[in-house]
Each structure stands twice: as structure tokens, then as C-alpha cells.
């Protein structure tokens, strides 16, 4: 085998390696945090203000897991108040595991969610709610087993 054949063999292996890398890169999951990320970035000041409002409350939101339920307890200031908002269970590993749930509290500012709708894994729970025309925002990590 002369040097010309070796050179062609090296270029052929290089081309096959590049094609393999392109094939593999096309199979990588590239989920975005949000499909409307640009619009969300423009409204980020609302998140900052909502976080300041939530930090001014007497306590943080409590998230507890029992056997088949996730219990969410808002601070005592939210008891017996009209609250509108949502809870976003954000899974960074897989966008298909994300869950958006409307806040439906009882008079004690408590909400129970069935654990069966979630896949086990690590989530960031993002609370976004309004009470008395004031915006609140809070985020907490959660590992669902």
C-alpha cells in the first residue's frame, strides 16, 4: 500500500467520523425552557418584583410529599384571600415532564396535588400568583420520588 492509498483511507475515515458526529448531534434533545423565551425576557422585571413581594411574606411556601399527594402550603397572609395564579413544575431534563397547574387553594391556603401525574425526577416549582392586585413569584427545587 503506497502513501496515496493511505491518504485516501485517512480522508475516508475522517469523512465517516464527521458523518457519524453529525448523525449523533441531530439526535440530541434540545428542549428550550420556554418557546416564547424572548417575550418572557422582556417581562422579567415582573418576576423580580413578584419575587420581592413573595420575600416580604412571613414565610416561604412549604412543599411536602406524602405517599400519593404533594401538599403546598402558602404563607399565612394568603389565608382566606382570593388568589389567582398557576404552579409550573419545570423539569429541566425533559420538557415532556413539565406540568402547569392552576392554584386552587382552600381557606387555609393549602392545595393538594395527586403525585401520579408526575414522573420521578428533579423539578423546579415556580409559583406565580396575584392577590389583591399584587403579583407574587417564588421558585423552589423539588425532587419527586
* pTM of the shown model: 0.75
- Predicted confidence at residue 42, as pLDDT, reads 76
| Neighbouring residues of 95: CB distance < 8 A, sequence distance ≥ 6 | 31, 32
Whole-number Å distance between alpha carbons of 59 and 73: 10
- Predicted confidence at residue 38, as pLDDT, reads 75
Q: Which residue has the cell 399584587?
A: 134
Tell me the pLDDT tens digit for each residue of 52-87: 999 999 999 999 998 899 999 999 888 888 899 999
Tell me the pLDDT tens digit for each residue of 102-137: 999 888 889 999 999 999 999 999 999 999 889 999
Q: Which residue has the cell 434540545?
A: 30
- Predicted confidence at residue 32, as pLDDT, reads 66
Mean local confidence (pLDDT), 48-55: 92
- Predicted confidence at residue 33, as pLDDT, reads 67
Mean local confidence (pLDDT), 35-39: 74
Asked if residues 98 and 15 have their Cβ atoms less than 8 Å apart, the reply is no
Tell me the pLDDT tens digit for each residue of 10-34: 999 999 999 999 999 998 877 666 6
pLDDT at 94 over 90: no
**The CATH number of the domain covering residues in 37-144:** 2.60.40.10
Amino acid at each position: 500500500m503506497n502513501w496515496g492509498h493511505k491518504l485516501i483511507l485517512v480522508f475516508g475515515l475522517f469523512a465517516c467520523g464527521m458523518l457519524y458526529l453529525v448523525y449523533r448531534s441531530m439526535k440530541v434533545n434540545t428542549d428550550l425552557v420556554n418557546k416564547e423565551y424572548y417575550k418572557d425576557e422582556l417581562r422579567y422585571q415582573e418576576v423580580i418584583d413578584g419575587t420581592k413581594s413573595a420575600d416580604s411574606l412571613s414565610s416561604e411556601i412549604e412543599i411536602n410529599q406524602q405517599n400519593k399527594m404533594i401538599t403546598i402550603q402558602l404563607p399565612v397572609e394568603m389565608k382566606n384571600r382570593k388568589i389567582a395564579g398557576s404552579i409550573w413544575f419545570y423539569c429541566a431534563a425533559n420538557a415532556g415532564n413539565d406540568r402547569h397547574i392552576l392554584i386552587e387553594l382552600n381557606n387555609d391556603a393549602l392545595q393538594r396535588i395527586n403525585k401520579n401525574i408526575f414522573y420521578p425526577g428533579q423539578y423546579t416549582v415556580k409559583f406565580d400568583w396575584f392577590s389583591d392586585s399584587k403579583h407574587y413569584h417564588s421558585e423552589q427545587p423539588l425532587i419527586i420520588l
